């Protein structure tokens, strides 16, 4: 299993009690997926192992997981900050025109007038809409609002995003 091909859906934030139960912070927009999972891949540092899930319960802002073979608080503590991961094929489908962040990061971004702006490095989540941080050799960092007036086309296959910049986003 290659970690770069797996998607993080949760992170172990601590232990709960003495029976090996762990607290998991969801890193997914679909935390209800946890209720039907039978197993998951755990990544701690560079090691990945598949573990069976014995039980899952909602708890505060996260979930309590009991994994097979993790039966004491001491063993559970070894998994602190481990990530719960799934294969890309297990992702929930999104409506047309919506993408997972990992699908967009690293895309080349082209403006109608200026040509290649650079690479989408980061996605900032704001209240109204996401903002794409483009790292540009020519213009430095560019912040682009992820709105339909700006984002003209997103092609996952070619890894190219076409945009029409709003006036004032780039000087000159």
Complete domains list, the chain, with CATH: 3-90 (2.40.30.60), 101-163 (2.30.30.240)
Q: 3-class DSSP state for residue 14?
A: strand
With residues binned 3-state (H G I as helix, E B as strand, rest as coil), the percentages for the chain, rounded to 5, are 10, 50, 40
Mean pLDDT of all residues in 32-57: 94
Mean pLDDT of all residues in 28-36: 90
57 pLDDT higher than 60:
yes
pLDDT for residue 172: 55
What pairs with residue 162 in β-bridges? 110, 153
- Triad 85, 90, 96: Cα angle to 5°: 120
Is-above-0.75 flag for pTM? no
pLDDT for residue 106: 95
Window from 1-10, 89-98, 143-152 with minimum mean pLDDT: 1-10
Q: 3-class DSSP state for residue 88?
A: helix
Q: What are phi and psi of 89, to 5 degrees?
A: -65, -15
* Tokens of residue 106, six digits: 């690293």
**168 band by pLDDT with thresholds 50, 70 and 90:** confident
Alpha helices in the chain (DSSP H): 73-77, 101-104
Mean pLDDT of all residues in 76-80: 95
129 pLDDT higher than 60:
yes
Say if residues 22 and 65 touch (Cβ distance below 8 Å).
yes
pLDDT for residue 167: 87
pLDDT for residue 4: 63
């Amino acid at each position: 299993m290659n970690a770069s091909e797996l998607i993080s859906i949760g992170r172990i934030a601590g232990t709960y009690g003495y029976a090996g139960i762990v607290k998991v912070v969801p890193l997914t927009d679909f935390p209800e997926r946890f209720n039907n999972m039978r197993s998951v891949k755990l990544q701690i540092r560079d090691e990945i192992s598949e573990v069976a899930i014995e039980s899952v319960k909602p708890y505060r802002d996260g979930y309590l997981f009991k994994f097979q073979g993790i039966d004491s608080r001491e063993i559970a503590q070894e998994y602190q900050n481990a990530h719960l991961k799934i294969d890309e094929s297990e992702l929930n489908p999104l409506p047309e025109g919506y993408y997972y962040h990992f699908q967009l990061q690293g895309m080349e971004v082209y403006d109608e007038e200026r040509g290649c702006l650079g690479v989408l490095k980061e996605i900032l989540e704001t209240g109204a809409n996401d903002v794409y941080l483009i790292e540009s050799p020519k213009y430095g960092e560019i912040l682009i609002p992820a709105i339909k007036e700006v984002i003209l086309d997103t092609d996952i296959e070619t890894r190219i995003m076409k945009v029409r910049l709003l006036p004032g986003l780039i000087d000159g």
